[in-house]
Structure 1
Amino acid sequence: MDQASYLWVRASGHVHCVQATWVYRRDIDHGGLRRMHENLAHGLLGRRVEPSPLPGGRHRWVAWHDLPRLDVCPSAWDPSVVADWFDERAHTPVDPEFGPCWHLAVLPIENYGTAISLVASHTVVDGIGLSLAVRDAVNGIRHDFGYPPPHSRRRRRALAEDARLTARALPEVGRALGGMVKVAVQNRPSLGRRTDAATPAPRPAGDRPVTVPTAAIYLDLAEWDACAARLGGTSNVLLAGFAAKLAERFGRHRAADELVTLSYPVNDRTANDLRANALKGIDFAISPANVTTDLRGTRRHIKQALAEGLGKFADQERVFPLTPFVPKAVVRKLPLGALNAADRPVGCSNCGELDEAVTQADGTQADYFSLRMVEQNLTEKSPELVNGELFVGSGRVAGKIFLTLRSYRPGADNSRRALQDQAVSTLADFGLAGFVE
């Protein structure tokens, strides 16, 4: 999956990232922040991709302990535009091969406090991995994963080593070719799906850059859990219900059965896990009809769908050995995660319980912390956007739950305010309210 992520970046030019944000209602301890900054270069972020010189060869991780500059904004911004600054930082370039793979920045907020942004390439680390990297950096823990320095192999040696690795992997490649048929059958369009889902919406001439609006909402954790219990669900099920109801407002339900397809990454990161993307992606459909009054049926459906979906993902994993051999021309035409493609899917990612250390960028607890997915270099013709996009992320930490949102609808009002209004109205349907960023 990590090599597939890298190949997508190179083929498409689109860089998928994870962004951590902190907001302090006071000035921060800059010394504490500098310590975290320095320690981040000696964990999961202290590496980058070195491609194999062999066509079809496996790429590898190499050490990268160079420290990106800590960007401190020289002037304070008004509190009302802090979200714009987070977006600006989200689009400050990162590169998983040439670096920087990540960057950290600080913004003084007029008569309020301080905002902090950390952006990292999703090819190098996923959301849970980034939270672990921050936790260790805050706690002063540095790692040596034994990665070689960049360009430590002569080309002849690299070709020989990678050729041997490729030859040993040929049996897996053969089995993967056989597994392609099963995966293709699983992912064929169903008869109940919208026939217009693959047709791009009308767009203006040209291929203009697009900034997908984002928003964050912070809720009291006790109130969120009380709502989940009142409706007969769990925190995870309530998140799915919220995502489905929000999707209904955005018209991302299937015409034939009114169900909403959730694209659900399940994290399976283990101790000492060095994968960048320790995820299993599955899709399942739920009805938004009754989620605001009763989550029991949704809870049963999700439990069953997860069990079945993880079994299907095992079949998809068998195809992964083919990744190095997929031509860029093919990759370029497919959105990342195309093996799990469904019509008008809604991303729904739950980071679960996070260590409170992740909120302590300067060594003390921030008032607001979030993790969100961001994407760089998207245009109107990007495969991710031709049929629109909706993504909901979540995490629980320090007595709060954060909801991070991103949405794009071709030809519609794609302002942050429109996204915030729809999200706030959807929360109100559940009897919930929170602080909107």
Structure 2
Amino acid sequence: MMDGGRRRLSAPDATYWFVHDTLHWSVVLQLTWTVEGSVPDAALEEMAARLSAGRLHRRLCRPRVPGARPYWVRAEEPLTAVIDRVPVADDEIDAWSGAELDGVPLDPEEGRCWRLRAVTTRDGRSVLSLTALHLVTDGRSMVAAASDALAAVALGRDIPVRGSADLIAADRIPADTSAAGGRTAGAVADLVDAVRQVGAAASGVARVAVGVGRDRLTEGRAGGGRAQTSKTVEAAPTSTEPGRASLSDRAPTAVGARATATVAADAWEAVAVRHGGTTNSLFVAVVSGTLRSAGHADLGVPIRVGLPVDVRADGDDGGNATAGVTVTLTDQPVAGTDLGPIRRACKHAFTELGAGRRTSTVHLQPLMWLLPNRWLLPMVTAGSGMPDVVASNLGASEGLSSVAGRRASRVAFRGIAQGVDPDLPYRFGDGVQAWFLRSGDSITIAAQAFDEKTFPDDSTLRAALRGELLKWEVPHEIR
């Protein structure tokens, strides 16, 4: 939302601001490319220059008035590509990209919201990593930013870059009277926004009071593969399903396992059609089946599958524009059987969201800008709001399939939270999260497991994902 030239954080950004400000986490997203051939340094620097002119290149400013939302300004200094000079072996690619995801030093308040890094392999290929804070972008917006930059590099000339021109320049606060006027105008804008948030919070509380009865009725009808809408919360609560250990007990080190599968797009689509489903319902089935088959929850025990949904309007270049729905699966998935029940459950959930029918608690989000963090923490982490599975389908992007005229044989997307303290009870996720991305004629599924008792290491997750793909007869490569 623009406010006097300031683009304020919006409701979908609130979770990522909360964990940054309260838990000191950085939720980081990553795109990786494995490119056939060496990408010249000049192309990498040009890509970084294009990213510096785009939607990711921002700096976050705290408001002067309590209750107002933080806002973005343009980051002052362009960022350059980080190019590693020591080649890596082919079997070290995932370790290299994983280390970058785990350790990249991003900071929204310093204007470091993204980083482009590259390395060559010993056989002459290039590996690229683009990381960005989830606070500044959601998955689809990040894919669009990367596609814009790559298109500009490929054309060798300027093209319109979305998401930066409408941001005001960063305040430098020079020592003159005009600066004092600027500070006054900024404080007035903050005051106006704070008043708006008070009004929005009051309205939200009233709507919750009206909607509680309706939500209870809806939840009572949900289950057995049908859908209910809910907010996907990523600051994990410590309580969980009856009989299951707390999340902090199941993830004592707060370190997740990783696996990435690559599938030919036509093979994936053929399997989905053969079983009466879609590319998305097969994705949901494979990821939730990976969790079930590993022993997290037997068939017949309900599992909740969170499905992020893009709700970005045309022309909206804000940070996050994602809503969440939750599908509850009880007797699914069963590999190799009809995908119809999952497909219908997902469709029902998306239809409910499109009609504006969401759990009433979403209307309480304005309170996150008004209440002290010490009050919000027990509220946000209470209950058992974490889905067992989060399946993020980023769709198809042809704009990612080549870098500087060189074909990318694999493009993958994933995300994690840096800074999770294992000595505290809070965790970023439960079960398995996975990201689906099609680029060119291939699909990648990048999975991240957070339940260390079920998935103690990468090899266990790889074996479970491989086993599920084999049961669906999906040809694949996995690493």
**TM-score, normalised by the number of residues in structure 2:** 0.81
Does 325-334 or 42-51 show the bigger shift? 325-334
Give 1:194's match in structure 2, choosing from 238, 241, 245: 241
Q: Would you say 1:79 and 2:123 are equivalent positions?
A: no
Match of 1:305 in 2: 349
Distance across 1 between alignment mates of 2:393 and 2:310: 9
Q: Would you say 1:214 and 2:258 are equivalent positions?
A: yes
- CA shift at 1:402, angstroms? 0.9
The amino acid across from 1:149 in the alignment is A
C-alpha contact (below 8 Å) 2:413/2:437 kept by paired residues:
yes
C-alpha contact (below 8 Å) 2:261/2:478 kept by paired residues:
yes
Match of 1:37 in 2: 48
- CA shift at 1:170, angstroms? 3.6
C-alpha contact (below 8 Å) 2:389/2:430 kept by paired residues:
no
The amino acid across from 1:194 in the alignment is E
Match of 1:70 in 2: 81
- CA shift at 1:289, angstroms? 4.2
Q: Deviations over 1:83-102 (max 9, x none)?
A: 11111110212112223111
Q: Structure 1 residues 309 and 271 mapped into 2: Cα distance closer, same or farther (>3 Å)?
A: closer
- CA shift at 1:394, angstroms? 0.2
Q: Structure 1 residues 363 and 50 mapped into 2: Cα distance closer, same or farther (>3 Å)?
A: farther
Match of 2:137 in 1: 125
Match of 1:359 in 2: 401
Match of 1:325 in 2: 370
C-alpha contact (below 8 Å) 1:281/1:313 kept by paired residues:
no
Q: Structure 1 residues 238 and 25 mapped into 2: Cα distance closer, same or farther (>3 Å)?
A: same
Q: Deviations over 1:361-385 (max 9, x none)?
A: 3343311111112221123355553
Give 2:147's match in structure 1, choosing from 130, 135, 145: 135
C-alpha contact (below 8 Å) 2:292/2:298 kept by paired residues:
no
Match of 1:114 in 2: 126
**TM-score, normalised by the number of residues in structure 1:** 0.89
Q: Deviations over 1:36-88 (max 9, x none)?
A: 11100111112122111211112211011523342111211111121111111
Match of 1:274 in 2: 317
Q: Structure 1 residues 231 and 383 mapped into 2: Cα distance closer, same or farther (>3 Å)?
A: farther
Distance across 2 between alignment mates of 1:183 and 1:51: 33
Match of 1:165 in 2: 193
- CA shift at 1:201, angstroms? 5.3
Match of 2:156 in 1: none
Distance across 1 between alignment mates of 2:378 and 2:445: 30
Does 100-109 or 3-12 show the bigger shift? 3-12
- CA shift at 1:158, angstroms? 2.5
Q: Would you say 1:10 and 2:21 are equivalent positions?
A: yes
Q: Structure 1 residues 197 and 329 mapped into 2: Cα distance closer, same or farther (>3 Å)?
A: farther
Q: Number of residues paired by the alignment?
A: 430
Match of 2:274 in 1: 230
Q: Would you say 1:105 and 2:117 are equivalent positions?
A: yes
Match of 2:205 in 1: 177
- CA shift at 1:288, angstroms? 2.5
SS at match of 2:142: helix
Question: Cα RMSD over matched residues?
Answer: 2.9
C-alpha contact (below 8 Å) 1:241/1:292 kept by paired residues:
no
Distance across 2 between alignment mates of 1:60 and 1:268: 21
5+ unaligned residues in a row in structure 2: which ranges?
1-11, 153-158, 173-178, 224-239
Match of 2:456 in 1: 414
The amino acid across from 1:87 in the alignment is G
- CA shift at 1:386, angstroms? 8.5
Distance across 1 between alignment mates of 2:111 and 2:337: 48
5+ unaligned residues in a row in structure 1: which ranges?
none
Distance across 2 between alignment mates of 1:174 and 1:197: 37
Give 1:375's match in structure 2, choosing from 411, 417, 429: 417
- CA shift at 1:136, angstroms? 1.1
Q: Structure 1 residues 216 and 112 mapped into 2: Cα distance closer, same or farther (>3 Å)?
A: farther
Match of 1:349 in 2: 392
- CA shift at 1:317, angstroms? 4.2
- CA shift at 1:389, angstroms? 3.4
C-alpha contact (below 8 Å) 1:248/1:288 kept by paired residues:
no
Distance across 2 between alignment mates of 1:411 and 1:260: 17
Distance across 2 between alignment mates of 1:166 and 1:157: 14
- CA shift at 1:184, angstroms? 6.4
